[in-house]
Chain A
Amino acid sequence: MTFGKYIRDQREALKSQDRRFSLRQVAQRIGVEPAYLSKIERGDWAPPSETKIRALAEELGEDADVLLAMAGKVSSDLQEIIRKRPQLFADLIRQLKSAPDQAILRIARDVRDGDW
Chain B
Amino acid sequence: MIELMNNELTFRFPEVHEEAECSIDFQRTLRIPDDNRAYPLPPGLGRFPVEHVDDFASNLPDTWRTHGGVFIPMYQSEALWINFNADYPCAVKIAAGKINAVSGKPWSNGLSADSQDYVVIPEQPWLDGFNVSEGLIRQFVAMPLGEGFTAEEQITGMAEHGGLQIIAYPMKHDVYVKRFERSLIEEPVLYSKVESRSPDMGLAPGGLMRQEIYEDEYGIDAWDQNNGFRCFIHLANSRQYQMITGHQPPHKPVTARDYTEAGLPWFDYYDDSKALAGSNTLGGLTSVGAKVIQTGQGLLPDNEPVQPKTVKIIRKGNVVRDGKF
Q: A residues touching B (Cβ–Cβ < 8 Å)?
A: 84-85, 109-116
Contacts and interface: CB of A to CB of B under 8 A. Distances in A.
A115 B3 contact: no
A109 B3 contact: yes
Contacts of A116: 66-68, 98, 161, 165, 232
B3 A113 contact: no
A114 B4 contact: no
A113 B66 contact: no
A113 B232 contact: yes
Which size bracket describes the interface of B in this complex? Answer: 20 to 34
Instruction: Output the residue of A109, A110, A111, A115 with the most chain B CB within 10 A.
Output: A111
Contact of B229 (A84, A85, A109, A113): A113
A84 B17 CA distance: 12
Nearest to A111: B2
A111 B9 contact: yes
B67 A111 contact: no
A109 B66 CA distance: 18
B54 A112 contact: yes
B66 A115 contact: yes
A110 B4 CA distance: 7
17 contacts: A109-B3, A111-B1, A111-B3, A111-B4, A111-B52, A111-B68, A111-B69, A112-B52, A112-B54, A112-B68, A113-B2, A113-B68, A113-B231, A113-B232, A114-B67, A114-B68, A115-B68
Given A111-B69, A112-B68, A113-B230, 11 more contacts: A84-B15, A111-B2, A111-B68, A113-B231, A113-B232, A114-B67, A114-B68, A114-B69, A115-B66, A116-B66, A116-B232
Contact of B65 (A84, A111, A113, A114): A114
Main secondary structure of the interface of A (DSSP, over half): loop
B231 A111 contact: yes
Contacts of A109: 3-4
A112 B69 contact: yes
A115 B54 CA distance: 14
Instruction: Output the residue of B9, B161, B231 with the most chain A CB within 10 A.
Output: B231
B79 interface: no
Interface string B37-68: 00000000000000011100000000001111
Nearest to A110: B1
A110 B230 CA distance: 12
Contacts of B127: none
Nearest to A115: B66
A54 to B, nearest CB: 23
B70 interface: yes
Nearest to B70: A111
A109 B54 CA distance: 11
B53 A112 contact: yes
Interface in B303-324: none
A112 B54 CA distance: 8
A110 B3 CA distance: 5
A114 B230 contact: no
Contacts of A112: 52-54, 68-69
A115 B67 CA distance: 5
Interface string B99-115: 00000000000000000
A113 B69 contact: yes
Contacts of B231: 111, 113
Contacts of B232: 113-114, 116
Instruction: Output the residue of A85, A109, A115, A116 with the most chain B CB within 10 A.
Output: A116
A87 to B, nearest CB: 13
Nearest to A88: B14
A86 B322 CA distance: 43
A111 B55 CA distance: 11
Nearest to B14: A85
Contacts of B229: 113
Contacts of A111: 1-4, 9, 52, 68-70, 231
A86 B53 CA distance: 33
